[in-house]
Every structure is written in C-alpha cells, then in structure tokens.
Amino acid sequence: MDKHYNKLLTYAYNIVGSYEDARDLVQDVLEKYIPLDKSSIRDESNFLIKSTPNHAINFKIRQNKKEVFGVGLPKPVSLENADTKIKDSSD
C-alpha cells in the first residue's frame, strides 16, 4: 500500500487542493480497499487510481454544495411563552 500512497495523494490533492483533505480521502479509499474481495480485481494499482479521483470528486461536489447552500441553521426558539420576570438570585 505504501508504494501507491504517494501517487494516490497526488491525484487527490490535484482535485481537492488541500493536503489534509487529500490525506483523509486516500485513507478512506485504502480503508475501503483492504477488506474487499480482491479476486475480481485484476490490477490493484489501476483500481486504486480510479477509486481515488472518484472519491475526491464526490468530496469536492459535497463541499461545493455546502458552500452554496450553507450549513443548516437550527430551528428558531419561540419566546412567546417565556417568563418575562427574572427572579432575583438572593431569594
């Protein structure tokens, strides 16, 4: 896996533009790859090279949606039934 790591990191970084995000993405891809049944995979390197950019592109799309729509705000709290009297702490 170490021989592929730097190459995969380069692909991910070129897509997302952040070293920390690229490291996380490559780690995700490798974590998903390790438990897979590798009998149907003919070339490990090509599989990882295809998976990493796909994962990075999906990450980038999610990030762009967050920037456009923003993170959801909490629901407003109704103050209609709130007590207007503040109790004195000396009571």
**Per-residue pLDDT in tens (0 to 9) along the chain, 91 residues:** 678 899 999 999 999 999 999 999 999 999 999 898 988 899 999 999 999 999 999 999 988 877 766 666 677 777 777 666 555 555 5
Give residue 86's pLDDT: 53
Residue with tokens 């599989």: 47
CA dist., res. 6 & res. 64, Å (int): 26
pTM above 0.85, yes or no: no
Residues present in the chain in total: 91
Give residue 65's pLDDT: 79
CA dist., res. 21 & res. 30, Å (int): 14
**40 touches 22 (CB < 8 A):** no
